[in-house]
Structure 1
Amino acid sequence: MRLNKLTLALTVACGAPLSVAYAQETTVLEKITVSASPIHQHEVFDVPSQVDSVSGQAKAQLESGSLGEMLANMPGVNNLSAGAQSGKPVIRGMTGERVKVLSNGASTDYQAYGTRHLPNIDPYLAERIEVIRGPQSVLYGSEALGGVVNVLAPQMPFSQAAQGEADIEYNSNNNETHLGVKMGSGSDKFALTVGASMRKGDNYRVPFAATAVNPVPNPGGSPAPDSRPLFIGEVPFTNFQTRAANIGLGYREDWGQVTLRHSVWRSKQNYLGVESEDGGEFEPLAAGQILENQETQLAAEVFADDWVIKPSWVYTVNDREASHDLPYESMAEDKGTDHYLDLQVVRHDWKLAAEHPNIGDFEGEIGVEVTRKEQRLLSGHLTPSADVDKQAVYLFEEADYERWLVQFGARYDWHKVAAPLDGNNEHFVEAGVFDGTNNTRDFAVWSGSLGATYRLTEEWSLAGNVARGFRAPSIFELYAGGEHGGVQAYQIGNPDLQAEIALNTDLSLRWDNGTTQMVLTAYQNRVDNYIYLANTGNYRCSEAGQESGACTENTVSSEPGAGLIPEMQAEQTDALIRGVEFNLEHRWNRRFQSALAVEWIQGRDQNQARDLPLIPANNLFVKNSFYAADWQALKQQQWTLETKLVASKDSAGAYEPFSQFDGMTIGTASTKGYALWNLRYSAQIATQGKEKVQLNFAVENLFDRAYVDFLDTYKGYTLAQGRNLKLNLRVDF
């Protein structure tokens, strides 16, 4: 990473604010409690796992429709992005179907196989978001290989008077607006929570910079590759609108409590692609999506002497409609045709868990889980209709000694995937993706974990974990066979894939003396049978190419050309991901506070001695806050300057998603280092009434820096988002 002396000097200077004037007014940092254990809440520094969370005012300052963007400054967490509306959390180099996104501890299903398939959750409606880094298969099964993001709704407000908040936000870059409301009330036995959120954004804007001089297809390497973007200023087809709502009901008695929650999330989104007709200049191409997710959760806790019985049922309906070449505003004209992808997932998750009383020094939870998932392809050709059946038994135990906290667990999973051969699946059979010999796969895998925290002194502690995790191949990875419009690629599954098996170890040194908190973690995650989508080197005729007559349906070429898109197929290797995370927070005094997060990560394909794809660039994040004195009606003022330094990163080669742009006349797959600055301000506005008014203002990308992040899926066409002024007003009542 190349940074000039001024940038480095400013970073160092901001990292060490003067504390002379307020040396006698020091305060302590806030203790954070998390729910990383199924039986107890613990402070972050006490649990063996590496856990971070965001809630309260810190969450309000970061509010976004993109879950990945909100979490991207946590150590070990990055954002796989596609514009302002789409961001997937990347935990220690893993994302998608290796990172499990939970809703109140329950599984979600948002068809996570696509790099631009975002979690179907509105973060605004959550009270707290927790991130657990490292395999969590014992508690959450497959898809928790890299870690867990738990999105937690407000707790049931038993015995509380009616209260709530109203929120309004504006973002200048893409004219994005947000309106939200959350309310709750309860008596001794009954409780009710409700929430609603509406977010709408236009096309986002990037800084004006030099553009590619000859943006045409270049089979054979002529014209010469050009890493400059195709689009600057306003980026077409990046607009969206999202609506979400939830309701929760609670009932409690002396014997326990029952909760019923229902949420709905609907979004219309456009994604940008490019096309070239008859070898002419690349032009923008829209890929519209209409997404909907409905989720019902019924859960109970029943006290039975010293036992706590916890049955639950989650019902999820997830709909994905997508066009390859039309924006969402007009894509309905193709509905029902082969050019219109229409997928529906209906899922039931049943769980019966029981917390048992102490057995010796240990208390814990035993449980059984059953999942039934039905995926139905209503039109289109990307991934077939199929059923997934899962069963699991697990055990989790915990012992808390004077200096030790010990946790261990074990789990066994049965996992079956079956794709029928008839109906809309005939396309995949005829294409040779699967047949009667491999359309059903069974997996049976055990996983386990052992973790402990040892408190060396009152201030120092040491934590370590060893975990064996697993992930069964998804329907998409096994049986895909069609054009994926959102990423402009023809993707093919592999029915012979084996389950991924991971062995993760990490060791963490922690220090907390009240004014300073420090965590240094080193980890290694060895994954056998690591699944990835590799560019095969071939190109297929896209549906847009077929419609324009540039190519025919069965065209397969080894060279790019008009109407052609890259072909990718699921393959496996053995992978090794290792890294170091360093996090430091220090409260200098009553006025100043600083934070530092550093991530170094390396991912390697062990079998072929090359880098793994989609591994984030090494990065450093510095945050300095100044707590100003009250001034007239402005109370609890906070000014924050953030600096993020990101290293350069080379594409892993042909099997890296979007790697083709390193050889094209537009865009890039490999990225340069950059420095990004954000300025934030927040204050509470005093009023005459009981309500509290909170003001949040930010200037993101303060200097309008032209840059491209390695995990930005638009890096082949354009730059990352330019300067954005963000204004948020929240009224608590």
Structure 2
Amino acid sequence: MAAALTFGAFAVTTLSAHAAEVSPAPGAASAVAPAAVPEAALPATFVTGNPLGRAAAELAAPITELDGKALALRRATTLGETLDGLPGVSATSYGPNVSRPIIRGLDGDRIRVLQNGTASLDASSLSYDHAVAQDPLSIERVEIVRGPAALLYGGNAVGGVVNTIDNRIPREALNGISGATDFSYGGANRERAGAAQLEFGNGQFAFHVDGFARKSADLRIPGFARSAQQRARDDEDVAQPSGKLPNSDGQTSGAAAGASWTWADGYAGLSYSGYDSDYGTVAEENTRIRLRQQRLALASEVRNLSGPFTAFKFDFGYTDYEHKEVENGETGTTFKNHGYEGRIEARHAKIGPLEGAVGVQFSQNTFSALGEEAFVPKSDTTNVALFALEEWAVNQAVKLSFGARIEHSSVKPSAGGNDRFDNLPSRNFTPGSVSAGAVFALTPAWSVALNTAYTERAPTFYELYANGPHLATGVFEIGDPQAKLEKAFSTDLSLRYENGPNKGSVGVFYSRFTNFIALNNTGLTVDGAENPLPVYQYAGVPADLYGFEAEGRARVWQGYGNLDVELRGDYTIGRNRDTGEPLPRIAPLRLTAALVYGLGRWGGRLEVVHASNQGRVPANDLTTSGYTTLGAALTYQFKAGGAQWLAYLKGENLTNQEVRLASSVLRDIAPQGGRAVRVGLRTTF
């Protein structure tokens, strides 16, 4: 079984149960070398899915965890590209340097991207050309909640949560010194990437330092940058680059330091991190984005208390973010976002059959855009919320969960001397959410999970107050200052199986939105800097999103090595209920099949991914063609010099297919990379 897992590099089911066999990512090593810890000593812990620390099989909401070797071999330049292809997860993709996760067709402010449970406060939800200010090299584990997580994280988690977790604030005692390194080269953009971390402690005080850097060239692509449909629409004087995607190079670096005081029943610590990035925006040949983020985090947990509460957990993060859009060496627009978010969770003693937790979440941030292309005003947003989650184990076969959340948010705009933002009203909202779920164990191997939720989301500052040219999307955006709460009823049902190396799940989901705040084409145009810009306005519409997700792994041969088969698929449909028109940027039907073989220290994987054409698009949108790609990986694990080593060789898009993601706003001018090979070496000590 150990050898088989070595090659389960891209498995997307929860992998924590095999943590004894995988290495922590640089920037987040565990206190003890993985091989020294027995498998039973590392139970799954979910920070995102449930404050009671339940494993995925016990939760009604569908959750995927990605860590260790599976994360190492999926790791790409961006968080979105790293997670793209997991069940229900696609990516926005604005060239190779910018990509944000999409869950079940929902993106932007409906998906919360968290760092250790609190917001990182970048500008990635505002615009598709704004990068997530986190690098996959610094991440130890990623937890993904598919479907509403608004109960714990607010209405803007109506579509789900992506929580990245690192060990920059050590959560357990450290004795002695441990560390990790990760180096890789290759890919379609000839990327050079490296990361290193060091941890040490005396059993009471624990310290952590890490750093990372990556640099890439322009992306190599198969054929033209612009699609055949787009080229047919282009004027004769439009450049038609091929072979490489212009202005797609980039570089990123960062570092962090943290420390904790640990004891038998808890810890308290802090960390400071910095992140810098400089990358080209592929929609504008002479424009680059220079991004900087600094973050201070505090965290503490106290367990095994007596009295009405048995545990307390506190997380707090303060972020100072800025990025500049530089055109021909001159700064055009500067975006700034600074503020904080904190959470306090208290687990209470058992009340009759109920186990549960209550909590408070609070946040404040100030966002501003300065320059000629600023299309939103300076805005101050504050939020405070109360939530509760309760669980009832009716018997060994039935577990119920239910909870509620109420929050209050306010948004205050400031014109800052820009006439377009004069006389805008401040807005206050009081959204609420409730949820209920159940897990029914049919047999020791089979279970059924049902989850339902009613959620409300307050509109964001840009949905309320946008008024200007948004050049990243090529439109003139207008907000609705009188927008009301977005409301949704969501449910999903899944059948799960797990028996030794064989596991799988299949599920369906449905979300019905009232006042779905969409950016709609008005049919009007305004004069732009070079060409007329279509006018789009935010307005509430009724919408439905529904579909299915399935994944499974089965051992088909065991003898001279182990051979597993993995299958995965998902499909989402989104539509405006009033008009029947499809919602934009929905990924098509996607199917994945892989053969995974393990023998001793060696492992191999052969994977085929098929995506259908996407013909369900709004009026005036272009369709995307289907594609089938082939990937392969070869791994070798060994010990040398007192350290554990993992060497790998990956082949990506080996058939050199033209891949255009239907979920990308730039799908017709920026395809994915062509055929490429990547090599890497990781070590832990």
Distance 1:528 1:91, change over 3 A: same
Distance 1:526 1:341, change over 3 A: same
Matches within 5 A, 1:305-384: 305-306=306-307, 307=309, 308-323=311-326, 326=327, 330-331=328-329, 333=330, 335=331, 340-380=332-372, 381-384=374-377
Quote how far apart the aligned CAs of 1:311 are: 3.4
Which secondary structure state, in structure 2, belongs to the residue aligned with residue 613 of structure 1?
Answer: coil
- What residue in structure 1 maps to residue 411 of structure 2? 417
Quote how far apart the aligned CAs of 1:77 are: 0.8
Q: What CA deviation, in whole Å up to 9, does each residue of 1:325-351 have, x standing for no partner? A: x2xxx53x3x3xxxx111211112233
Query: 662, 669, 672: which is aligned to 1:710?
Result: 662
- What residue in structure 2 maps to residue 263 of structure 1? 273
Q: What CA deviation, in whole Å up to 9, does each residue of 1:465-491 have, x standing for no partner? A: 111122211111111122223333322
Q: What CA deviation, in whole Å up to 9, does each residue of 1:638-670 have, x standing for no partner? A: 11111111111125224xxxx5xx5xxxxxx21
2:74/2:82 contact within 8 Å kept = yes
- What residue in structure 1 maps to residue 534 of structure 2? 566
1:317/1:345 contact within 8 Å kept = yes
| One-letter amino acid of the structure 2 residue matched with residue 585 of structure 1 | R
1:412/1:446 contact within 8 Å kept = yes
2:119 maps to 1:107: yes
Distance 1:342 1:213, change over 3 A: closer
Q: Distance in 2 between matches of 1:256 and 1:711?
A: 43
2:95/2:670 contact within 8 Å kept = no
Q: Distance in 2 between matches of 1:144 and 1:93?
A: 13
- What residue in structure 2 maps to residue 645 of structure 1? 610
2:179 maps to 1:164: yes
- What residue in structure 2 maps to residue 665 of structure 1? none
2:320/2:337 contact within 8 Å kept = yes
Q: What CA deviation, in whole Å up to 9, does each residue of 1:220-249 have, x standing for no partner? A: xx99xx9x9933201111111111222221
| One-letter amino acid of the structure 1 residue matched with residue 294 of structure 2 | Q
Q: Distance in 1 between matches of 2:225 and 2:279?
A: 28
Moved more, 384-393 or 291-300: 291-300
| One-letter amino acid of the structure 2 residue matched with residue 570 of structure 1 | Y
- What residue in structure 1 maps to residue 294 of structure 2? 294
Distance 1:356 1:475, change over 3 A: same
Quote how far apart the aligned CAs of 1:568 are: 2.1
- What residue in structure 2 maps to residue 691 of structure 1? 643
Alignment: residue pair count: 635
- Compute the RMSD of aligned alpha carbons: 2.6
| One-letter amino acid of the structure 2 residue matched with residue 313 of structure 1 | F
| One-letter amino acid of the structure 2 residue matched with residue 719 of structure 1 | P
Q: Distance in 1 between matches of 2:544 and 2:319?
A: 34
Q: What CA deviation, in whole Å up to 9, does each residue of 1:100-148 have, x standing for no partner? A: 0111111222221212333211122111101010011110013101000
Distance 1:585 1:376, change over 3 A: same
- What residue in structure 2 maps to residue 727 of structure 1? 679
- The unaligned stretches of length 5 or more in structure 2 are 1-38
Matches within 5 A, 1:537-552: 537-543=523-529, 545=530
Quote how far apart the aligned CAs of 1:67 are: 0.8
Distance 1:445 1:172, change over 3 A: closer
Quote how far apart the aligned CAs of 1:609 are: 1.5
Q: Distance in 2 between matches of 1:49 and 1:295?
A: 30
Q: Could you tell me the TM-score, scaled by structure 1's length?
A: 0.82
2:224/2:240 contact within 8 Å kept = no
| One-letter amino acid of the structure 2 residue matched with residue 639 of structure 1 | G
Which secondary structure state, in structure 1, belongs to the residue aligned with residue 286 of structure 2?
Answer: strand
2:425 maps to 1:460: no
Distance 1:120 1:209, change over 3 A: closer
1:232/1:718 contact within 8 Å kept = no
Q: Distance in 1 between matches of 2:427 and 2:224?
A: 51
- What residue in structure 2 maps to residue 237 of structure 1? 247
Which secondary structure state, in structure 2, belongs to the residue aligned with residue 419 of structure 1?
Answer: strand
Quote how far apart the aligned CAs of 1:74 are: 1.2
2:57 maps to 1:65: no
| One-letter amino acid of the structure 2 residue matched with residue 321 of structure 1 | K
Query: 202, 206, 211: which is aligned to 2:221?
Result: 206
| One-letter amino acid of the structure 1 residue matched with residue 532 of structure 2 | L
2:384 maps to 1:391: yes
Matches within 5 A, 1:301-700: 301-303=301-303, 304-306=305-307, 307=309, 308-323=311-326, 326=327, 330-331=328-329, 333=330, 335=331, 340-380=332-372, 381-400=374-393, 401-421=395-415, 423-429=416-422, 435=423, 438-543=424-529, 545=530, 563-588=531-556, 589=558, 590-629=561-600, 636-650=601-615, 652-654=617-619, 659=620, 669-687=622-640, 689-700=641-652
Quote how far apart the aligned CAs of 1:614 are: 1.7
Quote how far apart the aligned CAs of 1:686 are: 4.2
1:35/1:41 contact within 8 Å kept = yes
Q: Distance in 1 between matches of 2:230 and 2:297?
A: 50
Q: Distance in 2 between matches of 1:210 and 1:490?
A: 25
Q: Distance in 2 between matches of 1:496 and 1:690?
A: 64
Q: Distance in 2 between matches of 1:389 and 1:31?
A: 37
Quote how far apart the aligned CAs of 1:591 are: 1.7
| One-letter amino acid of the structure 2 residue matched with residue 104 of structure 1 | N
1:209/1:706 contact within 8 Å kept = no
Q: Distance in 2 between matches of 1:213 and 1:651?
A: 18
Which secondary structure state, in structure 1, belongs to the residue aligned with residue 630 of structure 2?
Answer: strand
- What residue in structure 1 maps to residue 15 of structure 2? none
Which secondary structure state, in structure 2, belongs to the residue aligned with residue 57 of structure 1?
Answer: helix
Distance 1:162 1:502, change over 3 A: same
Moved more, 136-145 or 377-386: 377-386
Quote how far apart the aligned CAs of 1:34 are: 3.4
Displaced runs of 4 or more, over 4 A? 28-33, 209-219
1:617/1:647 contact within 8 Å kept = yes
Q: Distance in 2 between matches of 1:211 and 1:83?
A: 13
- The unaligned stretches of length 5 or more in structure 1 are 1-27, 275-284, 430-434, 546-562, 630-635, 663-668
Quote how far apart the aligned CAs of 1:170 are: 0.8
Distance 1:717 1:351, change over 3 A: closer
Q: Distance in 2 between matches of 1:214 and 1:35?
A: 45
Query: 53, 62, 68: which is aligned to 1:41?
Result: 53
Distance 1:229 1:599, change over 3 A: farther
Quote how far apart the aligned CAs of 1:201 are: 0.9
Distance 1:162 1:414, change over 3 A: same
Quote how far apart the aligned CAs of 1:524 are: 0.5
Q: Distance in 2 between matches of 1:651 and 1:565?
A: 24
1:156/1:192 contact within 8 Å kept = no
| One-letter amino acid of the structure 1 residue matched with residue 462 of structure 2 | F
- What residue in structure 2 maps to residue 116 of structure 1? 129
1:287/1:486 contact within 8 Å kept = no
- What residue in structure 2 maps to residue 14 of structure 1? none
Moved more, 28-37 or 184-193: 28-37
1:229/1:716 contact within 8 Å kept = no
Q: Distance in 1 between matches of 2:80 and 2:291?
A: 18
2:106 maps to 1:94: yes
Which secondary structure state, in structure 2, belongs to the residue aligned with residue 208 of structure 1?
Answer: strand
State the identity %: 27
2:154 maps to 1:141: yes
